[in-house]
Amino acid sequence: MVEDPPISKAVEVVLRAIPCSVALPAGAGKTELIAASVAKAAQQGGTCLVLTHTHAGVDALRRRMKKFGVASDQVVVRTIDSWSYDLIAHFPSLAGLVVSVVPDWSKSAEYHRAAAQAATSRAVGRMLKVSYTHLFVDEYQDCLVDQHELVLALAATVPTAVFGDPLQSLFNFRENRPVDWESDVLPKFPAVEIDHRPRRWEPNHPALGAWLVNIRQSLLKGLPVNLEGAPVRWVHRDNPRTYVQVCYQDLRLEGTTAVLGQFRPDCVKAASALKGTYLVMEAIDEKVTSTLAKQIDSDEGATVAKAVVEFAIECSSGLATHIRPDKRRRLGEGRSFTARSPTLQPAYEAVLRVRNDPTPEAVGAALHLLSKLPNVTVHCREAWNEVTRSVAVAATDGCSVSEALSRTRNHARVVGRRPTAHVISRPLLVKGLEYDHVIILNPEKYSAQELYVALTRGSKSVTIISDTVVLPPAAIASRHSKIAPRHSKILSPHPSLF
C-alpha cells in the first residue's frame, strides 16, 4: 500500500503526467517513488516493467517493491541489457539479430538497437501492450543514445516515465554518447516537479542532507565548494600518505565504509598501503583479468608465468618481497627461477610448472600457493576470485579461460556482489550504492558529477582529504566536453557494472 502522504501525492503527479521525466537529487527517494508508483499501478490492476542499468539497482528496486507489497506477478524488474537480450532471443527475425546462448556484453549496443527494431514491430507491440500497463526507467541520466532509442520505441506502446539526476551522469568518456537531459530527454519526456527532501540522511543527519542539497547549485555553476563549517570532516593532506591513518582510524566506526579514489590504479595503490583492510571493488568487465585470461589461453609459458606473478603481486600486499623484480625478469626470460627458503619453494615450483606447461590447472595451483605465503594479503579479492574461478571452470569444462571468464561474469551479474564492510572504489562503481561512511581521497581531480556522487554516498559521515579547505571549481563533464578523455585509459566504451 502507498501510505506515505508525500509519496502518495508524488505518485499521483507522475501517473497523471505520463509520459514524463522526474529529476531528483541523490538520496531524495527516487527508488521509493518508483516502487510506490508501481504499487499504485498494481492496485489499479496494472503490471509494470521497470528497467535500470545494474543488477545492484535491480536488487534495490525489488527490495523496495516488497516493502510496498507488490506481488512478483505485478512487476518485472530487469537491467536494460538483459531485457534487450531476452527480447532478441525470443524474436530474432524481428530484431534482425541472432544472439548466442551466452550473452556477449561487449555487443550490448547491438542488443539495444536490435531490441528497438523488434519493439517497433506489430507483433512485439501487441505483446508489450498486453503485458505491461506502465514502463518506468531508473537512472536515466546513464542511458546511452542507443538505450534511449530503445526506450522511445517501448514508449510508443507502453506509457512511460523516466527517473534520474543529470548531476549524477558519469558516462561521459571515450566513444560513449550519453543522453543530454535538456536536448534528448525533456522533448520526449516532459519534466514534472516533485516535492522532495533528503531522505537518506533522516532522521539523524539532516544537516548533512541539507548541505548536500545546497551545494548542487555550486557544482552546476562550476563554483568552488567551501568545506569550512560544513557538516563534513575535512582533513588537510600533509603528505601523499595522509589517507592511511585516516582510513585505519575509520575501521573503528560502526557500519560500512567506502574509500573513493578516481581510477583503478589509485584504488589498488591505496589498498596495498592499507594492507588489505579495505578491498578493491572492480568493474564487472575489468580489463586486468580479461587480459590475463587471454594470455593464459594463447601466450607461451614464460610469458604466462610472469603475467600470473605480476597479477598476484598487484592484487596483494607482501608478495613482492618474496619475488623480487630481478627474479620476475628471469622468470619471463626463461632463466633460473629458484628459492632457497623451504617456505617459498612450493610456490616457486608451482610458478615454474606454469612456465613449463601453462594450463588452467597449473595457474590455479600457483595462485593458491602464492596467496598462502607468509604476510601476503589479497586486497583485489574480486579480481583474484574472478581469475581463480575462471581457471577452475576452464580446467573442469575444457573451455578457454576467456570463455570461462565470460561465464563467471554473467553469473556475477545475476547474483551480485558479496557485501563488504570496507571497500575502496571510485564514483562510477558506487553510484546508486549507499554506505554509512565515505572517505574521499582526491576530490580536486573529480568532475562535478564525480564529486557530487562521491559526497552523497555516505549516510552518516563524509570525510574529505584535500590540500585546501575550499575545493576548486569542478567542471561539468558532458559528451561534448574535453574532460572525457581522462577516463579513457581505464574504462571500456560500455562499462558493465553491478
392 close to 328: Cβ distance less than 8 angstroms: no
> H or E element: which one contains 246?
helix 242-250
Number of H helices, E strands in the chain: 20, 15
**d(C-alpha 269, C-alpha 261), whole Å:** 10
Q: What is the DSSP letter of 425?
A: E
Q: How many CA atoms lie within 13 A of 102 on its CB side?
A: 11
Other beta carbons within 10 angstroms of residue 210's beta carbon come to 14
- Which strand (E) or helix (H) includes residue 59? helix 55-67
Q: From the options 3.40.50.10440, 3.40.50.300, 3.40.50.10800, 3.30.750.24, give the CATH code of 7-197.
A: 3.40.50.300
- Of 336, 294, 333, the C-alpha closest to 311 is 294
Give the homologous superfamily in CATH for domain 202-281+421-471.
P-loop containing nucleotide triphosphate hydrolases (3.40.50.300)
List per-residue pLDDT tens for the chain, 498 residues long. Answer: 444 557 999 999 999 999 999 999 999 999 999 999 999 999 999 999 999 998 878 988 999 999 999 999 999 999 999 999 999 999 999 999 999 988 888 899 999 999 999 999 999 999 999 999 999 999 999 999 999 999 999 999 999 999 999 999 998 776 778 999 999 999 999 999 998 899 999 999 999 999 999 999 999 999 999 999 999 999 999 999 999 999 999 999 999 999 999 999 999 999 999 999 999 999 888 999 999 999 999 999 999 999 999 999 999 999 999 999 999 999 999 999 999 999 999 999 999 999 999 999 999 999 999 999 999 999 999 999 999 999 999 999 999 999 999 999 988 877 777 789 999 999 999 988 899 999 999 999 999 999 999 999 999 999 999 999 999 999 988 765 544 333 333 333 333 332
Closest CA to 32 of 3, 72, 75, 71: 3
First to last CA, the chain: 29
**Closest by CA position to 219, among listed 444, 428, 448:** 448
Q: Say if CB 133 and CB 148 are below 8 A apart.
A: no
Cα–Cα distance, 163 to 184 (Å, whole number): 14
CA dist., res. 168 & res. 409, Å (int):
26
Instruction: Say whether 202-281+421-471 and 7-197 share the same fold.
Output: yes
Helices (H), 435-481: 448-455
Q: Which residues contact 225 (CB under 8 A, 6 or more apart)?
A: 215, 218, 219, 451, 470, 471, 474
Cis check for the bond before 19: say yes or no (omega within 30 of 0): yes
The length of the chain in residues reads: 498
> Angle of helix 287-298 relative to helix 381-397, nearest 10 degrees?
30
Residue type, 308: V
Show me where the domains of the chain are located. Answer: 7-197, 202-281+421-471, 287-415
Hey, how many other C-beta atoms are within 10 angstroms of the C-beta on 368?
12
